Structure 1
Amino acid sequence: MKRYLVIFGIFILFASCSNSSSKNEEKLDTISLANSAKEKDKQPNRSISASSNNTQQDSVFKIATKILFSLKEQNYQAFSLNFHPQKGVLFSPYGFIDIKKSKRLSAKDFLESIERNWTLTWGIYDGSGEIMQLKVIPYINKFVYSADFEKAPQKTFNNIIKQGNSKDNLKETFPEAVFVEYHFNGFDKALNGIDWQSLRLVFERFQDQYYLVAIIHDQWTT
């Protein structure tokens, strides 16, 4: 009888240890699953951040493409629809933005200047220092859409490809803006790239939409 009791006791002890081991394994599995869940929670945040950046870039390029098309087609009414409703657009003929001398126009003033064929002062010519006085369309042809930028071989987002001998102050002037650059590395091979040209479209967000606040033409100047 005692022998049976001893055997029964051993059996109970073994079962108890086995049950305790199973509970410990369950706890470890629970901890492991919790840690895995935490890691998965971290991963979507990185994906959302990357997705957000891509969405911003895509949105800006989409608007920029429409702007270039309207300039190419000389549809200035469509072009003016992209002007910032409050700030208008600053036109800089060179890479260095001269806030005091560069012309800033609202959409209304821009269209009226074309309709009335006004001559405007856009700044000064680099090198000579002469006052730059041009009608709107000649200015656009020389210091905005001076090349077929819609087909530019290089384009970047928030990055300047090349700059001339003047200081670049885009980010200082528009710290809250984003911009795209369209770039031609040159047209005449004999000039070895000296005749490069860039066009930068600068945008700021207003009421959940991106609007043009500056349009900057850059090239090599002597």
Structure 2
Amino acid sequence: MYSFKQIRWIVLSLLMLLLVACNGTPGATPEPPIEPSEEQEQQEQKSEPEPEPEPEPEQPVEVEEGMPPTVLEAGTTVIRALKNGDLNTLAAWADPNEGVRFSPYGNVNTETDLIFSRDELEGLMKDSTKHLWRSFPGSDTLIEMPYSEYHGKFVYDVDFMEDAEITVNEGLGQGAMIYNLNEVYPEDTHDFVDYYMDGIDPAVEGMDWRSLRLVFKKIGDDRSLVGIIHDQWTP
């Protein structure tokens, strides 16, 4: 049998062992947590990635109204009107003083090529009057027909709007006739859009090329239509 002192010593020993197991070395005082220095805090802040700013919503592009069209925009409107046979729209673009000159071939003839005013253009498609436009190249056969027929042969005879190569102030197709566009319509006062097709039937090796040139007179930043020149291969 153990005496009371022995039992107390055994209990104290067990308590000491339990304290060592739970807290480490008995009697050791726990060290207080070390606070980071200001330099360490700054380094930690720098190492942390900064949050990316949220993207701002895109603002809609404002289109200024009332701005005069570019020559290419004017050409697009006119070529669409020609495709649709809409001579009312064409008349709205015609120069109020000079009207619009129609040239069936690349050489502009200022003496014989017909000119129509705004008022005349509006009813021209329905007018059955035959007009003398010129003679066919290499012969004395006259080009005499109403405008509606002329339109289908010497204005919009192929789908220029959909299939043509488009240039500004550059004539791509030039036949045997003298090219005098810039002489009749000086480049310092005029711009033109050329709708060119290098050929339709491969069998004729490009001899069926077509070109339609829309000539605009510069009026400050604005412009008006003064010439419609159809061109093609000629003998």
Assess same fold via TM > 0.5.
yes
RMSD over aligned Cα atoms: 1.8
Aligned to 2:197: 184
> C-alpha distance in 2, partners of 1:132/1:190?
27
Deviations 1:70-118 (A, max 9, x none): 1111222112111111100000000001111110111211223434421
> C-alpha distance in 2, partners of 1:116/1:158?
33
Pair 1:155–1:100, CA change in 2 (3 A): same
Q: TM-score, normalised by structure 2?
A: 0.67
1:126 to 120, 134, 137: 137
Pair 1:158–1:207, CA change in 2 (3 A): closer
Structure 2 SS opposite 1:123: strand
Aligned to 1:168: 179
Q: How does 1:39-58 map to 2 (within 5 A)?
A: none
> Bigger radius of gyration, 1 or 2?
2
Q: How does 1:1-222 map to 2 (within 5 A)?
A: 59-175=70-186, 176-206=189-219, 208-222=221-235
- Is residue 104–residue 229 contact of structure 2 (8 Å, CA) maintained in 1? yes
Cα displacement (A) at 1:208: 4.0
> C-alpha distance in 2, partners of 1:200/1:163?
12
> C-alpha distance in 1, partners of 2:96/2:168?
23
- Is residue 95–residue 219 contact of structure 1 (8 Å, CA) maintained in 2? yes
> C-alpha distance in 2, partners of 1:153/1:201?
13
Number of aligned residue pairs: 167
> C-alpha distance in 2, partners of 1:88/1:153?
26
2:112 alignment partner AA: K
Q: TM-score, normalised by structure 1?
A: 0.71
Cα displacement (A) at 1:207: 5.8
Cα displacement (A) at 1:151: 1.4
Which structure 1 residue ranges, 4+ long, deviate > 6 Å from structure 2?
none
Deviations 1:138-191 (A, max 9, x none): 111100111111013411111111200000000001112111101111011111
> C-alpha distance in 2, partners of 1:115/1:218?
24
2:111 alignment partner AA: K
Pair 1:109–1:207, CA change in 2 (3 A): farther
> C-alpha distance in 2, partners of 1:80/1:136?
14
- Is residue 182–residue 198 contact of structure 1 (8 Å, CA) maintained in 2? yes
2:100 alignment partner AA: V
Structure 2 SS opposite 1:69: helix
> C-alpha distance in 2, partners of 1:184/1:98?
23
Structure 2 SS opposite 1:211: strand
